Amino acid sequence: MKKLYSLLAATTLAVSAFAQTTIYSENLGAGGNGVAISAYNGWQNAAPIVYSGTSDVRNTTTSSGYAGASGTGNILFNAASDTFIISGIDTSGYTDIQLSLGHFKASSALSNEVAISVSTDGTNWTPLTYTRPTGSNTSNWILVTPTGNIPSTSNLSIKFDSSAFPATNPPQMRIDDIKLTGTIISLGTSNVNKSKTTFIKNTSVGNEIYFGAKSDIKIFNMTGEVVKTAAVSENQSLNVADLQQGTYIVTGTVNGKNVSEKVIKK
């Protein structure tokens, strides 16, 4: 009994101990000379991530002055109808999700004209809010971290739009280095125990992990990095021969509940 309790406690601690992990990042590559979003091919991310909107990608007024500024490519907003939408981001299995981005405001801009919102269905949008510090409103880049609820979902969309720009003499604003971070969802001992009977059948793993339930799964190493994703069915195995020996956390959803299990790859 003591050994079982220790295993469950270790599993819970392993899941809880992860710090903020990067879920998604996009530095917009080399950029272009007014390239339409639909025509641009320099994105860091491929499918299932989808980029759309009416603004364009530039390589002028490049990002600088904040930690992680990548320079080169950025998105320009300079009309009252510009939009930029990122769809298909998988944030399931995370909590405390935080968005950050490089933000440029021209001297003619007022306050927070580029609206930021998130959606799980691409139709209903929830606004986020951000504020540039006093004195940072004259043609410079800073890193902003909008506040608000960013949901845990398999299909998050983020929308940036300039619908609040004035129709006459609209300001110039740009964004770059878009990043989402989060903490892997922590499960209590009871959930871990439940997952041992319905989620993963073998926690000591050779080249196959055997699952007892259908789920979209993620496998994390002990630094919180996603090393494998897959969709598995009940009584199906997943080949993990490509993973190095060590301890991993497998997360998924069973009967509508987030579940997690520690496995040891031998």
Q: What is the pLDDT of residues 4-44, one digit of tens each?
A: 333 333 344 444 445 678 999 999 999 999 999 999 999 99
pLDDT score recorded for residue 222? 74
Domains and CATH numbers, the chain: 21-184 (2.60.120.260), 187-265 (2.60.40.3080)
221 close to 246: Cβ distance less than 8 angstroms: yes
Per-residue pLDDT of 160-208, as tens digits, reads 999 888 778 788 899 999 999 998 765 443 344 444 447 999 988 999 9
In percent, the amount of the chain with pLDDT more than 70 equals 84
Query: d(Cα 111, Cα 115) in Å, to the nearest integer?
Result: 10
Higher pLDDT, 46 or 134: 46
pTM: 0.68
